Amino acid sequence: MQNRSTPEDFDVVIVGRGPVGAALANLLGLCGVRTLVLEREARTYHLPRAVHFDDECMRVFQTIGLADAILPHVILSPGMLFLDADGQLLLDWSRPQTLTPMGWNLSYRFHQPDLEDVLIGGLTRWPHVTLRSRCDVFALDQDETGVRVRYEDLSNGQLREVRAGYVVGCDGARSLVRRFIGSAMDNLGFHERWLVIDVLLKRDRDDLGNYSLQHCDPRRPATYVRGTGARRRWEITVLPDEDSQVVAQPEKVWELLSRWITPDDAEIERATVYTFHSVIARQWRKGRLLLAGDSAHQTPPFLGQGMCAGIRDAANLAWKLATVLRERADASLLDTYQSERLPHVREFIELAIRLGGVINTKAIEAGLAAGEARANAPVKLEVKKPLLGPGLALGDLPLVGHLAPQFSLSNGNRSDDRIGYRHVLLVETEAALWTHLRCALAQVEVEILTSDDAEGITPWLREHGIIAALVRPDRYVRGAARNDPELGQLVAAVIPPTHVPSAA
Ligand SMILES: Cc1cc2nc3c(=O)[nH]c(=O)nc-3n(C[C@H](O)[C@H](O)[C@H](O)COP(=O)(O)OP(=O)(O)OC[C@H]3O[C@@H](n4cnc5c(N)ncnc54)[C@H](O)[C@@H]3O)c2cc1C
- CB of residue 227 inside a 6 A radius of ligand 1: no
State which of 305, 307, 359 you would mutate to test the pocket of ligand 1, scoring each by most atoms of that ligand within 8 A of its C-beta. 307
Residue 503, pLDDT > 60, answer: no
State which of 37, 40, 231 you would mutate to test the pocket of ligand 1, scoring each by most atoms of that ligand within 8 A of its C-beta. 40
Instruction: Give the pLDDT band (50/70/90) at residue 221.
Output: very high
What pLDDT does 20 receive? Answer: 98
What pLDDT does 443 receive? Answer: 84
- CB of residue 356 inside a 6 A radius of ligand 1: no
Residue 338, pLDDT > 60, answer: yes
What pLDDT does 442 receive? Answer: 85
- CB of residue 454 inside a 6 A radius of ligand 1: no
Q: What is the pLDDT of residues 199-219, one digit of tens each?
A: 999 999 999 999 999 999 999
Other Cβ atoms within 10 Å of 449 Cβ, number = 19
Give the C-alpha separation, 6 to 134, whole Å.
22
What pLDDT does 2 receive? Answer: 45
**CB burial string 232-257: b at 16+ within 10 A, e below:** bbbbbbbeeeeeeeebbeeebbbebb
Ligand 1 atom 51: residue of nearest CA: 49
How close is the Cα of 376 to the center of ligand 1, in Å? 41
- CB of residue 311 inside a 6 A radius of ligand 1: no
Atom of ligand 1 nearest to the CA of 274: 53
The domain ranges of the chain are 8-71+110-185+280-336, 415-499
- CB of residue 176 inside a 6 A radius of ligand 1: yes
DSSP 8-state assignment for residue 499: G
Ligand 1 atom 53: residue of nearest CA: 49
- CB of residue 17 inside a 6 A radius of ligand 1: yes
- CB of residue 303 inside a 6 A radius of ligand 1: no
What pLDDT does 364 receive? Answer: 85
What's the pTM value of the predicted model, to 2 decimals?
A: 0.96
Answer whether 8-71+110-185+280-336 and 415-499 agree in fold: no
- CB of residue 196 inside a 6 A radius of ligand 1: yes
Ligand 1 atom 9: residue of nearest CA: 304
Q: Which helix (H) or strand (E) holds 122?
A: helix 112-122
Given a contact cutoff of 8 angstroms between Cβ atoms, the answer to whether 153 and 134 are in contact is yes
3-state secondary structure 399-412: CCCCECCCCECCCC
Which own/partner contact pairs does 275-278 have at CB distance under 8 Å and 24+ positions apart?
275/191, 275/192, 275/193, 275/194, 276/190, 276/191, 276/192, 276/193, 276/194, 276/300, 276/301, 276/356, 277/173, 277/190, 277/191, 278/187, 278/188, 278/189, 278/190, 278/191, 278/349, 278/352, 278/353
How close is the Cα of 295 to the center of ligand 1, in Å? 9
How close is the Cα of 79 to the center of ligand 1, in Å? 23
Q: What is the pLDDT of residues 3-52, one digit of tens each?
A: 456 889 999 999 999 999 999 999 999 999 999 999 999 987 777 799 99
- CB of residue 20 inside a 6 A radius of ligand 1: yes
Residue 419, pLDDT > 80, answer: yes
- CB of residue 39 inside a 6 A radius of ligand 1: yes
Pick the CATH number of 415-499 from 3.40.50.2300, 3.30.70.600, 3.40.30.120, 1.10.1530.10: 3.40.30.120
Quick one: how far is CA 187 from the chain centroid?
21
- CB of residue 274 inside a 6 A radius of ligand 1: yes
- CB of residue 48 inside a 6 A radius of ligand 1: no
Q: Across residues 274-302, what is the average pLDDT?
A: 97
What pLDDT does 498 receive? Answer: 59
Distances (CA, A) of 406 to 58, 234, 420, 462, 474: 12, 35, 12, 16, 12
Average pLDDT of the chain to the nearest whole number: 94
How close is the Cα of 493 to the center of ligand 1, in Å? 37
Ligand 1 atom 39: residue of nearest CA: 171
- CB of residue 44 inside a 6 A radius of ligand 1: no
CATH architecture of 8-71+110-185+280-336: 3-Layer(bba) Sandwich (3.50)
Nearest-10 crossing angle of helices 435-443, 484-494: 20
Ligand 1 atom 5: residue of nearest CA: 50
Q: What is the pLDDT of residues 75-101, one digit of tens each?
A: 999 999 999 999 999 999 999 999 999
Atom of ligand 1 nearest to the CA of 194: 1
How close is the Cα of 444 to the center of ligand 1, in Å? 35
- CB of residue 152 inside a 6 A radius of ligand 1: no
Q: Across residues 176-196, what is the average pLDDT?
A: 96
How close is the Cα of 169 to the center of ligand 1, in Å? 12
How close is the Cα of 246 to the center of ligand 1, in Å? 25
What pLDDT does 492 receive? Answer: 84
- CB of residue 41 inside a 6 A radius of ligand 1: yes
